[in-house]
Structure 1
Amino acid sequence: MRIAVIGAKGLPPKQGGIEHYCAEVYPRMVAQGHTVDLYARCSYTESSWLDHYDFQGVRITSLPGLELRGVDAFITSALGAIATTGNKYDIAHFHALGPSLFTGLARITSPAKVVVTCQGLDWQRAKWGSFSTQLIHLGEKAAVRFAHGIIVVSDALKSYFLQTYGRETIYIPNAPACYGESDPNFTYGTQLGLEPGRYILFLGRLVPEKRPDLLVEAFSTLKPKGWKLVIAGGVSDTRSFTAKLLEKIASNRDIVFAGELRGPRLWEIVRGAGLFVLPSDLEGLPLVMLEAMQEGIPVLGSDIPPHQQLISRGRGMLFEAGNLDSCVRSLDWAIHHPTAMAAMAQNAQKHVQLYYSWDRITSETLKLYTSLLNLPEPADIRQPSSTKLAGIVSKE
């Protein structure tokens, strides 16, 4: 198959779940004999316009854009959709709802089957202004109308599309990245003033919907003796929020801001954590939580549906989303019940190993591609009924 990928920032991955997803799935497809072209943003790849390079067999093309929040993504997604015109591709795969605004263009100008992967309801994210939010919402509606198949990464998203649009989707979850070797002597962690097993870790972009501010406030309220809190993550169009957060962190010597971590340093800090906490108000299916679970780290999360899917049934602890008192109580319990938390972590590790595999995800995605290529094209896609919308998605 010839596959075009639109909506990812680029490869290799630096930050973001979509880019890590693409880095895992598409090289595996190439290894099975398929051709994959990924249309990237030159602002991310730091390459000249229309430059090409190879990432593990995936051909990356850097598209021009404007380095303005939101604008860059829409311009490169539009150009990526234009690049699919003609008979060059069998599959045009859009990632995220914003880029999906241009699924109609790909559907009309190319015989390629159009696929959308929804990692989360991006229009709910606090970083977007009202105009961008409206465009992303339009992208969601375009995906429902024009995509031959929609992949969702959580049960909650599957329910959302069915209840909101009467649209069936394909549930194919994310999987955690495979960590490499890290320093057994915990050298970097020691430089940060950390002791293995005696710190709480938040890992993720510093954005309002992930609520690192709630965790900072809960930790400052609890003041657990002998424990520290590590905040690790990069800035994502939320400089004002980050500035206020760093101001709070600076006043507490038991809170460490580690910035954006990658590679061996990231692996070392995750593996050394005594507790991983994700207090988000909004997630798709968080890769960072899956990675902590895979590494056998005890996990505490807000009780949003994606977290319930991952760590309910004795695989971790949940607290009421957005509730400071609930977060404080749960932190206190987790810290003072290490044996119970270790048992939950063991259950979580087994669960991830059994159900979340990149090889399985690649296989399921290719199965969807193949089934869509065998479907006849409807005669009229301009006003599809809800029945037709449901009918163009293959059975799981």
Structure 2
Amino acid sequence: MLGLRGFPGVQGGVETHAQHLCPLLAAAGCHVEVIVRSAYQPPSVGDHWQGVRFRRLWAPKSKGLEAIVHSFLGVLYAGLIRRPDVLHIQAIGPAVMTPLARLFGLRVVVTHHGPDYDRQKWGQVARWVLQLGERFGMRWSHGRIVISEVIRGLVRQKHGRESTLIPNGVVLPDLPDSADALAKFGLDAGRYVVLVSRLVPEKRHFDLIRAFDQAALPGWKLAIVGASDHPDEYVRSVIEAAKATPGTVCTGLQTGEALRQLYAHAGIFVLPSSHEGLPIALLEALSYGLPVVASDIPANLEVGLPAAHYFPLGDTEALAERLRAFAAQPLTPGLRNERRAWVKTRFDWHDIARRTLLVYQAVVKS
């Protein structure tokens, strides 16, 4: 597998996707090797984790170059050394190397996680490369996986290809009894709004900060959880806006037990983003049984929540109203368990792994 920074505990939707998927593929009998970027892969993990083998390859830690350079080196490694039955490329950026992989005689599966060229952080050249990666990945691969119906329609319309819809999933976590991680940030259980994401423009942190300020929830705080791989002016602006807004804290990147506690003890989860594939963070919030509020972009709507959980993209007053409404509703154990059962039924990683394996088997037999 190629096209991600690494895992476990590495920030990013594709990384979280692979972290859940790969051990289940290994448990199903696949020999899974993941080509990761050495600068991101936690040294403490070692070369094997839950049946998955890691191959660390160097890449320049540069927003514009690291993915394409690492993907090129990864395809060389796969084509010249490993010769796998299937090379699974995650995301359309790395998929620009699909023709090279085909030249090496490899059978290629590409997962389309969303039109990354729509993300605000990319310049004109980067967007062109991402569009080229989408074109190559969807037209040259042996198998195509998409994570949402919206993306499947895009692939059919733009590239005339059919694809297999396999969404992201969740694993229902054990709810932690401890809340000691909250004290570090001055948070009280059940009395804070949380957003877990990378600090990038399409997550629209400013919308949430403004809406939280407008909502004026007595005794509540806002926790912005996450960081950026490449800190820039946007990151600095978010941190400054948080400092200027009473009750708002930026926790930085959190993983492991601290992240579990920040999810589990939140009062409301919000995802105000303008771009998503199928939002893993939203699904994870639901797996903790949290009331969630999300922007009404197609990827978020596809999760299938009732209308009261959505607000028009960019409408901070509507978001503030949603915050007031959910803050006034007690989060009972019954409601929490209902949400957990609902998301488990619709987005189960074991079923996702089974369906992914079927794609591999079809590609190998073709």
Whether these two folds match at TM > 0.5 is yes
Matched, 1:18 2:14: yes
Q: In the alignment, which of 306, 324, 335 is matched to residue 332 of structure 1?
A: 324
Instruction: List runs of 5+ in structure 1 lacking aligned partners.
Output: 376-396
CA contact (8 A) 2:148 2:167 kept: yes
1:364 is aligned to 2:359:
no
Give the aligned partner of residue 137 of structure 2: 143
Deviation at 1:274, TM superposition (A): 0.9
Asked if 1:43 corresponds to 2:39, the answer is yes
- What SS class does the counterpart of residue 8 from structure 2 fall into? coil
Q: Distance in 2 between matches of 1:180 and 1:345?
A: 13
Residue in 2 aligned with 1:53? 47
Q: Deviations over 1:86-133 (max 9, x none)?
A: 6821101100111000001111211x3210011121111122221111
Contact kept in structure 2, 1:127 and 1:237, CA below 8 Å:
no
Q: In 2, are the aligned partners of 1:11 and 1:55 still within 8 Å (CA)?
A: no
Counterparts of 2:38 and 2:337 in 1: how far apart (Å)?
A: 42
Equivalent AA in structure 1 for residue 12 of structure 2: G
| 1:323 corresponds to 2:315 | yes
Output aligned runs, 1:155-234, within 5 Å: 155-180=149-174, 182=176, 184-234=177-227
Q: Percent identity?
A: 32
Aligned to 1:282: 275
Q: Structure 1 residues 147 and 74, CA, compared in 2 at 3 Å: closer, same or farther? A: same
Letter in 1 for 2:196: L
Between the aligned partners of 2:72 and 2:169, the Cα distance in structure 1 is: 28
Distance 1:342 1:157 in 2: 35
> Is 1:77 equivalent to 2:71 in the alignment?
yes
Mapped contact 2:287–2:339 kept (Cα < 8 A)? yes
Whole-angstrom CA distance in 2 between matches of 1:10 and 1:308: 29
CA distance in structure 1 between the partners assigned to 2:172 and 2:337 by the alignment: 17
Amino acid at match of 1:64: W
Q: How many residues get paired?
A: 363
State whether structure 2 residue 120 is matched by structure 1 residue 120.
Answer: no
* Distance across 2 between alignment mates of 1:122 and 1:22: 18
Report the residue type matching 1:120 in the other structure: G
Contact 1:234 1:259 in 2 (8 A): yes
SS at match of 2:56: strand
Partner of 1:92: 87
1:374 matches 2:347: no
Distance in structure 2 (CA, Å) of the matches to 1:194 and 1:37: 40
Distance in 1 (CA, whole Å) between partners of 2:333 and 2:280 is 20
Quote the Cα distance in structure 2 between the aligned partners of 1:347 and 1:168. Answer: 35
Distance in 2 (alpha carbons) for counterparts of 1:167 and 1:265 = 42
Matched, 1:353 2:339: no
Contact 1:207/1:238 (<8 A) preserved:
no
Question: TM-score scaled to structure 2, two decimals?
Answer: 0.93
Letter of the structure 1 residue corresponding to residue 229 of structure 2: S
Deviation for aligned residue 1:222: 2.0
Q: CA deviation at 1:347?
A: 4.6
- Please tell me whether the aligned partners of residues 127 and 238 of structure 1 are also in contact (alpha carbons under 8 angstroms): no
Report the more deviating stretch, 154-163 or 24-33: 24-33
- Once residues 335 and 315 of structure 2 are traced to their aligned partners in structure 1, the CA distance between those partners, rounded to angstroms, is 23
Q: CA separation in 1, counterparts of 2:31 and 2:166?
A: 21
Residues 1:301 and 2:294 aligned together: yes
Q: Quick one: which amino acid aligns to residue 323 of structure 1?
A: D
Does residue 241 of the first structure (1) align with residue 234 of the second (2)?
A: yes
Distance in 1 separating the partners of 2:289 and 2:349: 18
Native 8 Å contact 2:175 2:288 kept in 1: no
**2:23 aligned with 1:32, yes or no?**
no
Structure 2 unaligned residues grouped into runs of 5+: none
Please tell me whether residue 313 in structure 1 is matched to residue 309 in structure 2.
no
Shift of 1:343: 7.6
- Give the aligned CA root-mean-square deviation in angstroms: 2.1
Residue matched to 1:109: 104
8 A contact 1:158–1:168 mirrored in 2: yes
Contact 1:295 1:349 in 2 (8 A): yes
Q: Which has the larger radius of gyration?
A: 1
Secondary structure (helix, strand or coil) at the match of 2:110 reads strand
Q: CA deviation at 1:145?
A: 1.5
Given that 2:172 and 2:344 are in contact with CA atoms closer than 8 Å, whether structure 1 keeps it comes out as no
Q: 1:180 to 1:350 in 2, by over 3 A?
A: closer
Structure 1 pair 259/240, CA: closer, same or farther in 2 (3 Å)? same
CA distance in 2 between partners of 1:319 and 1:366 (Å): 37
1:379 maps to which residue?
Answer: none
Q: Are 2:214 and 2:317, in contact at CA under 8 Å, matched by a contact in 1?
A: no
Cα distance between partner residues in 1 of 2:256 and 2:55: 25
